[in-house]
A and B are shown apart, each in its own frame.
Chain A
């Protein structure tokens, strides 16, 4: 699959725990975006990386962090999890980070915090 991939598909964990979500961008894409989708807030932009560097930050909590590795895959780390962190987490990729490019989305990771 040459599209955006995300692992795991589903994640169930307990409050206070820490999880890592993984995203591999489309082949050749340099920019990765992370979004959180919850029932009440809709799709919210969290953070963007471009070629390994943080490019923009959105409504990302301090308990959350991300990074993009030299092979361009990205990880979103969520710690001290709370019930309200239960959501679908999407990543998207684009070729560049400076023009109005179409973003290609992954299938998402559904996180459930019990």
Chain B
């Protein structure tokens, strides 16, 4: 079964501090992992995906298959990073679809 766990519902840090949002997954095949973000009053949007190995808005995430984790990190948090963050997994479904299985989300608040 596909499962994504985000252990922290809420995470609060100060501006300039490092931030790490945890994500663990359960999947027997080769997953595609994503981080989606939802800023206040905006729609859910892709932040980054593991296959791209890119840094978006200073955020990076490394897929650790041994630990089945895909933690999201940023060395210096900014107030505009305050948002709801969802880790998501895409695996093969029937007919080869890529339904997304989402974690329950972590609300990040960056305090001034």
**Contact of B99 with A58 in the complex, beta carbons under 8 Å:** yes
Which residues from chain B contact A48 at a C-beta distance below 8 Å?
Answer: 93, 97, 99
Task: Give complex CA distance A101, B97 in Å.
Answer: 10
A-B contact count (CB 8 A): 65
Q: Which of A71-100 contact B (CB under 8 A)?
A: 90, 92, 94, 97-100
**Distance of A112 from chain B, by nearest CB (Å):** 19
- Contacts A102-B49, A105-B44, A106-B43 hold; do A43 and B102 have CB atoms under 8 A apart? yes
Considering the complex, give the chain B residue whose CB is closest to the CB of A54. Answer: B95
Considering the complex, give the chain B residue whose CB is closest to the CB of A106. Answer: B43
Does A42 interact with chain B (Cβ within 8 Å)?
A: yes
Candidates A3, A56, A94, A99; contact of B95 at CB < 8 Å: A56
Considering the complex, give the chain A residue whose CB is closest to the CB of B105. Answer: A42
**Distance of A74 from chain B, by nearest CB (Å):** 14
Q: How many residues on chain B are close to A (CB under 8 Å)?
A: 23
Does A52 interact with chain B (Cβ within 8 Å)?
A: no
Which residues from chain A contact B51 at a C-beta distance below 8 Å?
Answer: 100
Which residues from chain A contact B83 at a C-beta distance below 8 Å?
Answer: none
B interface residues, Cβ below 8 angstroms from A:
32, 34, 43-46, 49, 51, 86, 90, 93-105
The bracket for how many chain A residues form the interface is: 20 to 34
Grouping DSSP codes into helix (H, G, I), strand (E, B) and loop, the B interface class, with mixed when no group exceeds half, is: mixed
**Distance of B45 from chain A, by nearest CB (Å):** 7
**Distance of B67 from chain A, by nearest CB (Å):** 21
**Distance of A34 from chain B, by nearest CB (Å):** 10
**Contact of B44 with A45 in the complex, beta carbons under 8 Å:** no
**Distance of A52 from chain B, by nearest CB (Å):** 14
**Contact of A101 with B98 in the complex, beta carbons under 8 Å:** yes
Which residues from chain A contact B94 at a C-beta distance below 8 Å?
Answer: 55-57
**Contact of B98 with A100 in the complex, beta carbons under 8 Å:** yes
Does A108 interact with chain B (Cβ within 8 Å)?
A: yes
